[in-house]
A and B are shown apart, each in its own frame.
Chain A
Amino acid sequence: MSARSTAYSVGESSTRTKWIAAVLVIGYALVAMIPLVWIGMTGFKSPPDSIAYPPKVFFEPTLEGYVNLFTTRSRQTDEYIESLGPPQTWYDELVRERNMVITGPSRFADRYKNSIVIGFGSTFLAVFLGTLAAYGFSRFKVPLKDDLLFFILSTRMMPPIAVAIPIFLMYRELGLSDTALGMILLYTAVNLSLAVWLLKGFVDEIPREYEEAAVVDGYTRFQAFYKVVLPQMRSGIAATAIFCLIFAWNEYAFALLLTSGEAQTAPPFIPIIIGEGGLDWPAVAAGTTVFLLPVVIFTVLLRNQLLRGITFGAIRK
């Protein structure tokens, strides 16, 4: 299925029904976008504007939310601030207007970096192992194959909190609590079911004849896989990787329960961005925007593969 190829349709719709359909669909899309647009806008509001009544659609944009997101500040007296001399940078100036001084960077950048490291690390491992397993399941007679495949899928039926209980105990014994390695292994395991199912579908689509020809030509089985099958799976692997990445990027429950500082990713951190003495909505909105933007871009890039990804490869068109 392709989101673009909508030319084909049920019967021939009249121009009028097409118009009505267009109006309704576009109307829905616009309404559905309000929350996201609103959050994007809030990131550029000043804290008072963000809690104004009635809600402000037009406002003077400021980068305060973004500055607050990336820094920690403390409130100071006027005398103290004057004693510091003129502000060195534009963000110093912005913060001082609120009687505050910047005391250092915030933890957001660290959490964001953790999200990247853990996201890419687990994606790489899941896709690597998943490709091998998918090829194995697709091409060889594996005893109990269907059971194994079902078993791989059923691991997704456990509520994450339930999985987290024994993992917590296990990681505590192994010293993997709050480590990037622990999170990478866990996300790899969770993503493997998706990766195996998706990739198996991609391998199934590659005719066996190619490899068989290569084997006849003197390739070993492994070489045939490496030189013939793998290159053809490239786009499938890329799509799978993006799905794994998005899962790891969005995951919250495990990160909440198994990390506390060193390896914490952004999702459990964003809800707790607070300013001094009040929930700082512009900073939360800024963090949300910075965090969601990559996923929005990936979604647009991936639109033709989405269906396959979200159904574990059950629907391929």
Chain B
Amino acid sequence: MRKIGTFVATALLAAGAGAANAQDKELTLCWAAWDPANALVELSKDFTAQTGIKMNFEFVPWTNFADRMLNELNSGGKLCDLMIGDSQWIGGGATYGHYVKLNDFFDAEGISMDDFLPATVYAYSTWPKGTPNYYALPAMGDALGWVYRKDWFERPEIREAFKAEYGRDLEVPTTWVELKEIAEFFQGREIDGETRYGAAIYTERGSEGITMGVTAALYPWGFKYVNTPGEYDMEGAVNSPEAVEALEFYKSLYDCCTPPGHSDAYMVANLDAYKSGQVAMQMNWFAFFPGIAKDEVVGGDVSGFFVNPGQNIEASTLGGQGISVVAYSDKQAEALEYIKWFAQPDVQAKWWELGGYAVHVDVAGAPDFPDSTPFAGEFLKAMDGVQDFWQEPIYAELMLAMQKRIHDYVVAGDGTAKEALDKLIEDWTISFEDDGKL
């Protein structure tokens, strides 16, 4: 008994000491666990070398990221000093005081928001939207794009078969209708002795997956969240005929052209399906494209990249994040020092080199940028037409409602597209009423 007691006491002390002993010269940065995060670890070694501040990282997979990190912020936790939070969090981060306002710091250090791509400053840094109130520095530009098996697209026998069936050449699709035809063409086709499938699209239920996927179709059809910008009049916008058509289209794509069991797939599942040679195309964030380009199996000339196809208009779903200082951190000075270091043009250049999407104009605005990689040009095209989900403080609530309604319809096949969107308006109306906006 006494031995156990001593052990427990020691264990308790050790657990307590862990927190108390934390040195001043140490920072923890929280982000999602994905390719760019590894690049950031590499990049941050320079920061440690220059300042002596040790960097710790807390990376959480995307499907748990929002859930875990918003929980952390809402509990006033001190785990993270720096947070690379998702674009939709900015409203809540600013309104509920999770993020430190950076205007004074930017002014004092001479950091100008004009040095970053305007679309990213608008999306990642400002709240209320578009006002010069900054709560983050644009850290990582991102949008939803597509990867395709260039090697298959170039094979003469496949091209012939496609032309015979559809009467046109097999090229990168420029509209969603073309994309679906190509996906149908590849679905179930034998290539090199194995059965292949059309396209890996987002269908994840738990976090934000299927919403990100379906908006990639909704936006090009002309979907709008509201009729009047700044108001919350959603009737007729969210459930417009175009929106209904786009949603039906996404379901038909899911039904016809995805690999078996692709019913709860987000980034990682799409990557797996693509890298294992199951599918001809996958939708995914540009963030993964550097990794795909240097992959041992699908890298090099095997893969090509294209911007999200248009339909009625050209549009892409926005990804990407800004870097913020957490208001509950005891080490805000060091955290600001990191941001100051990160904003420097040469650091930004190295960031892009390592695989992070730097959005500093010296990097992304440089004339040789579009040709620097096979996907850089497509990335700039995408950033020209990005649209984002609600960034309202109550975004999580709005997101979960959409996840449910869309997944219920697309994957589970409940009801019609119109009903799903009508119910979504009901859910959102209640949320905005509760929040006092309606």
Contacts and interface: CB of A to CB of B under 8 A. Distances in A.
A–B contact at 8 Å CB threshold (below): yes
Given A75-B294, A120-B11, A180-B15, A277 B4 contact: no
B33 interface: yes
A227 interface: no
Contacts of B296: 98-99
Interface stretch (A20-28, A206-214, A255-263): A255-263
Contacts of B14: 117
Nearest to A258: B75
A121 interface: yes
Interface in A251-276: 257-258, 260-263, 272, 274, 276
A99 B60 CA distance: 23
Contact-residue bracket for chain B: 35 or more
B71 A260 contact: yes
Q: How would you classify the secondary structure of chain A's contact residues: helix, strand, loop or mixed?
A: mixed
Interface in B1-56: 4-5, 7-8, 11-12, 14-16, 18-19, 28, 33-35, 38-39, 41-42
B76 interface: yes
Contacts of A172: 74-76
A120 B7 CA distance: 9
Interface string A99-124: 10001000000000010110011001
A310 B18 CA distance: 35
Contact of B271 (A116, A180, A277): A277
Contacts of A178: 72, 75, 77, 79
A232 B209 CA distance: 58
Interface string A156-172: 00000000000010011
A83 interface: no
Nearest to B14: A117
Given A124-B4, A124-B8, A168 B38 contact: no
Contact of A279 (B69, B76, B272): B272
Interface residues of A, number: 34
B77 A177 contact: yes
* Residue among A172, A261, A278 having the largest count of chain B Cβ atoms under 10 Å: A261
A74 B38 contact: yes
A76 B438 CA distance: 52
B61 interface: yes
B19 A179 contact: yes
Contacts of B63: 272
A51 interface: yes
B268 interface: yes
B61 A171 contact: no
A152 interface: no
Contacts of B340: none
Contact of B75 (A74, A75, A168, A181): A168
A262 B12 contact: no
A74 B14 CA distance: 31
A101 B19 CA distance: 30
A77 interface: yes
B79 A260 contact: yes
Interface in B275-291: 275-276, 288, 291
B11 A274 contact: no
Contacts of A258: 75
* Residue among A103, A172, A258, A277 having the largest count of chain B Cβ atoms under 10 Å: A277
A144 to B, nearest CB: 31
A73 B242 CA distance: 45
A177 B35 CA distance: 30
Contacts of A99: 296
Interface in A137-169: 168
Given A177-B77, A184-B12, 20 more contacts: A74-B42, A75-B294, A77-B294, A117-B14, A120-B4, A120-B7, A120-B11, A121-B8, A121-B12, A179-B15, A180-B15, A180-B16, A257-B71, A260-B58, A260-B77, A274-B33, A276-B35, A277-B34, A277-B268, A277-B291
